[in-house]
Structure 1
């Protein structure tokens, strides 16, 4: 986890520690989420230290005007940071101020007056069914050791066959490994929310093949997926696997691990799946998030129409 500036005033340093503890213990934020929030706040406090010319304190947080917050936003834009990243950082900052107000430590109405930066609505990137099949076949060719190839196939099948996020797949423990004949898998998603996802025989068989070939014996509470040296498999390694597949198979740039989850949803929708069901399978809190896939599918159908219809050109 990143360290916050050492030159914070003691009262602000104590507040940041309290906020972090609250996120971890009360909100049950994952390590990944907590690290992201801390980076967002760290960026703001580094800016504030330079902007004020002294270590920021709780009094400084209360005294900031809307023009001061806008100076921070302008600084982020000058550094070319993505608007989506700035929107998240602003959300983190608002959350920190809300927590401070509830604790009776500090408050500032100006932060609530800031508008999120305008963002273009990007659609999820999905692979075609043919590209997905190529990726799942090709992954077996990337590793010299058969057990590693079987591991990578099992991971990718959980992403595409069950719609899991990478972190959800890698967060499975050995005791939670799906087994042949098992019909559904309990998944812990964002905010530790649980959901059940159906299991295809292809997925359970791939996991069983991996476990039978894995040279390491792990306890029931240890990670299901292990790295080459026996430690937990990292998301970075899964990303590297997809990068190698892009090179090997000339797949498009959007062929990432997360794209397999998008492909799961898009292909279900194309096959007649309804949005409410897909929302449950993906673990989306809001139906509006899932509705993006209708635009993806409409875009795909329009592309097929343009290529196939004799009058489309």
Structure 2
């Protein structure tokens, strides 16, 4: 009997030792289960101090001004003489429908019989309620004695104020029609930009190269954002356009709709009209070609964004 009692006590003592070994708290045990480790991203843990976020206070000088946008169109209007005859109001209606901020026009007439002796730049400005400047590229004797001299050139219309402008004649061979480069400085709320309106010679490829070099020289050193558009009478990849490509970029490969063909107007086969962007951080958003009932080209319409940096 005593032997069984001793054996029982021995078994109870052994069980107590086992419990103490298994359940006795470890020195680092807090009595609370540690959280599971976060799933690994496979990346090393971050080092250094976290970056400081830019202030979100809209009154902070480090908040960038809102992005500005500019819709620019170009078209050779052929003096507004179309298949149905002269019709400047119809040309104005088409321009109005495009809802462009700036419109570059080539082959604009003043006091010519074929275009009703009208002062086309002035009349278009009035019809469209837009600022207008005219670059006279050549002049001829008046249609009648005592009348004003006939003029032709380029015109730029703007619904934004035009701060200043200039017209520079481009080099040409003797006997060819004079061409020019019209600059208009446009007053955008975030700062002025320059928009250049060009018309190159249509009959000689060699002189177009010379004219393109002339434009590059005139634009060089411009410290304002600028755009260059117009009837360049040259196709992409041509020698003249290779010169233009050295200081501008073509938005069409990025955002253009279709092939961008502009002449002839009914069934266009060639792309010779452009609205190109230069320095200043322009971002093309969309580009398209629009048909015209009046002009002998199709219009090119490009939407640009011009982000502004914070002045910090």
Q: As a proportion of its length, which structure holds more strand?
A: 2
Question: For the superposition of Structure 1 and Structure 2, which TM-score range results when normalised by the shorter chain?
Answer: under 0.3
Structure in which a larger fraction of residues adopt helix: 1
Instruction: Return the TM-score normalized by structure 2.
Output: 0.23
Q: Which of the pair has more CA radius of gyration? A: 2
